Structure 1
Amino acid sequence: MRERTHLEGAIKACQRLDQGLEDALTLIELGEAEDDADSVAEGEAALDGLKGEARRMELESLLSGEADANDCYLEVHAGAGGTEAQDWAEMLLRMYTRWAERKGYKVEYVEESAGEEAGLKSATIRVNGHNAYGWLKTESGVHRLVRISPYDSAARRHTSFTSVWVFPVIDDSIDIDIQEKDCRVDTYRSQGAGGQHVNTTDSAVRITHQPTGIVVQCQSERSQIQNRAKAWDMLRARLYERELQRREEAAQAEADSKTDIGWGHQIRSYVLQPYQMVKDLRTSVETSDPQRVLDGDLDPFMSAALAARVEAQNAAAES
C-alpha cells in the first residue's frame, strides 16, 4: 500500500505538471493575441513555478535505490579533539534535526553519550519519513570544522572532525540472518539530560556483532527488553546497509578509483574563521553562508551528491 500510494502520488504530480504547462502556454498565447500584458505576465510566472516543481520532481526521481524510500538511523561520532570535537558533533546533530524538521520528517532519539564538558561523544537518531534514507545516505562520511574555538582561552583556530553514518530502517520483508553466538550483548546505565532517558537501572543495551565489528546501542526506552529489541532491529539495519554498500562499491569500482572520495573519508568542510564557507569536496558545491547550512539548509549539497552518484553508477554500468 505504501508503494502504491507513492506511485499514485508520482503519477498525479506528472499529470499536474503537464496540465499546468498546457494552461500556462494557453494563457500566454491568449494574452499575446489580445495584447494583454497582465495575462502574459501571469502565464510566465506560472511557467517559473512549474520549472521549480519540475526540478523538485527530477531530484525525487534520483531516489530510486533499493532502500531509498525507507526511514533511517543517523549516527554522529566525535573525532579526536576533546571538547571542541564533541561540540562539533552536537552542532551536526542539530543541523540534521533542523533539516528533518524542514522536510516534515519525525525525529526520534535513540542513544546519546554526552561529552565531559560540553557537546556529544556520540548520538543516534531515527528519521521517519518517505525517502529519508535516500536523502541522507550521501551524508555518511567525515565532516570537518574550522573555527576559533570558544573553549580555547588563547582564542586559537582549531580543526575538528566528526563522522556521520546513515543506514536504513528495514522491515520484516527483508531477511537478515544473525547468529546470536556471533554477538555480545552488554547492558549499562543510560545517560542523557534527564527525564525518560535516564534510569536508575542498567536498562541501556549495546550489541557488538563480532564478525564485522559493528556496534549498536539503544537507551531511548524505559525497559531493557524494549531497548534490546530496538538494538537488534538496528543491528539488522546496519548489516543490511553494509550489504548495500558492498554492492554499490562493486558496481562503482572503476568510477571510485578515479577519485579520493569513499566511505569514511572527509566529504565536507565547514569554515567559520578566518573566512566563512561550506564546501562539499565530492561535488565542489559551496556556499559563503555556513549558518544557513548549520540551520538545516542541506538540499543543494544532497541533490548534487545524489546526481553525482547516479552519474557514477551509469558510467560504471556502461563500462
Structure 2
Amino acid sequence: MKERRRLDEAVTGYKTLEQDLADTIELIELAELEDDEEVLGEAEASLRALQANAARRRLESMLSGEADQLDSYLEIHAGAGGTESQDWASMLVRMYSRWAEARGYKVTLIEESGGEEAGIKSATLQIAGENAYGWLKTESGVHRLVRISPFDSSARRHTSFASVGAFPVIDDSIEIEIEDKDLRIDTYRASGAGGQHVNRTDSAVRITHIPTNIVVQCQNDRSQHKNRATAMGMLKARLYERELQLREEKAAAMRGAQTDIGWGHQIRSYVLHPYQMVKDLRTSVETSNTQGVLDGALDDFMAAALAQRVGEDNEAEDGAS
C-alpha cells in the first residue's frame, strides 16, 4: 500500500502539472490577445511556479532505486590527523543533522566514539524519512577540509579528512541470511552520556561479520539485548548496501568507467582558507557559501550527484541492450 500510494501521488502530480501548464499557456494567449498586462503578469508568475514544481518532481523521479525510499544509517569516521580530523568529523555530524532536520527527517544517534581532545573518532546516525537513503547515498566517500586550525597555536593551515558512508535501513520484506558461525559478538562499556550505568555494565555491542570483515556497533540503549538487535539491523543494512554496490560496480565495468561512489574516493572539498569554497569533485558544483553548506545546505550537491548517477545507470542499460 505504501508503494501504491507513492506511485499514485507521482502519477497524479504529473497529470496535475500537465493540466496546470495547459491552463496557464491558454491564459497567457488570452491575455496577449486582450493586451491585459495584469493577467499576463499573473500567468507568468504561475509559469515560474510550475517550472519550480517540475524541477522538484524531476528530482523526485530520480529516487527510483531499489532502496531509495528507505531510511538510512550514516556512518562518519575521522581520518588520520588526530584532533583536527576528529573535529572535522563532528562538524560533518552537525552538517548532516541540520540537513535532515530541515527536511523534517528524524535523526537518532546510534553510536559515538569521542575524540581524545575534541570532536569524534566515529559516529553512526539513523536518519528516518521518505527517500532518506536515496539522497544520502550520494554522500558516501571522503570529505576534505582545508582551514586555519583552531588547535594550532601557530595558526597554520591544516588539511583534514573524514569518510562518510550511507546504508539503507532495511525492512522485514528484504531477507538477509546471516549464519551464526560467521559472527563475532563482543560487549563493552559504553562511553559518553548515560550516568553511572554507562560505567558499570557492558551494554554496548560490537558485531563483526567475519567473511566480509564488516564491523558494526551500538551503544545508544542501556539494554544489551536492544543494542544487539540494533547492531544486527545495521549489519544487515551494510550487507545489503554491499550487494547494491557490487551491482553498481558491474554496471560501471559494462560502461568502461570507474564509479566515484564508495569508500576511498574523495568526493568534496571544503575550503575555509585562504578563500571560501565548497566544491564537489564529481559534478564540479561549487559555492562560496561555506557556512550555509556546513549548516546543512546540501541539496544542490546531492541533486547534481544523483542526476549524474542516474545518467550513468541509463548509459549502462543502453549499452547492455
TM-score, structure 2 as length reference:
0.95
Matches within 5 A, 1:172-211: 172-194=172-194, 198=198, 200-211=200-211
How far the C-alpha of 1:27 sits from its partner, in A, is: 2.4
Distance 2:200 2:61 in 1: 48
Distance 1:42 1:89 in 2: 48
* Contact 1:261/1:282 (8 A) holds in 2: no
Matches within 5 A, 1:1-319: 1-194=1-194, 198=198, 200-255=200-255, 257=257, 263-319=263-319
Gaps of 5+ in 2: none
CA distance 1:259–1:13, change in 2 (3 Å): closer
Distance 1:260 1:278 in 2: 18
Distance 1:288 1:218 in 2: 37
CA distance 1:229–1:28, change in 2 (3 Å): same
Give CA-to-partner distance per residue, 1:162-189, whole Å, 9 cap, x none.
0001000111111111111111111111
* Contact 2:208/2:216 (8 A) holds in 1: yes
Distance 1:317 1:196 in 2: 56
Give CA-to-partner distance per residue, 1:134-182, whole Å, 9 cap, x none.
1100100000000000000000000000000100011111111111111
Give CA-to-partner distance per residue, 1:170-217, whole Å, 9 cap, x none.
111111111111111111111224469946311111101111010001
Distance 1:20 1:43 in 2: 11
Gaps of 5+ in 1: none
* Contact 1:197/1:220 (8 A) holds in 2: no
CA distance 1:73–1:197, change in 2 (3 Å): farther
CA distance 1:286–1:254, change in 2 (3 Å): farther
Distance 1:233 1:316 in 2: 32
Letter in 1 for 2:54: A
Task: Report sequence identity in percent.
Answer: 68
- Bigger drift between 187-196 and 288-297 goes to 187-196
Partner secondary structure for residue 200 of structure 2:
coil
How far the C-alpha of 1:262 sits from its partner, in A, is: 5.3
Partner secondary structure for residue 300 of structure 1:
helix
- Bigger drift between 57-66 and 12-21 goes to 12-21
* Contact 2:189/2:202 (8 A) holds in 1: yes
Equivalenced residue count is 319
Once superposed, what is the RMSD of the aligned Cα atoms?
1.7
Distance 1:200 1:175 in 2: 36
Distance 1:255 1:91 in 2: 36
Distance 1:187 1:173 in 2: 29
Distance 1:95 1:196 in 2: 31
* Contact 1:196/1:222 (8 A) holds in 2: no
CA distance 1:166–1:196, change in 2 (3 Å): farther
How far the C-alpha of 1:261 sits from its partner, in A, is: 6.7
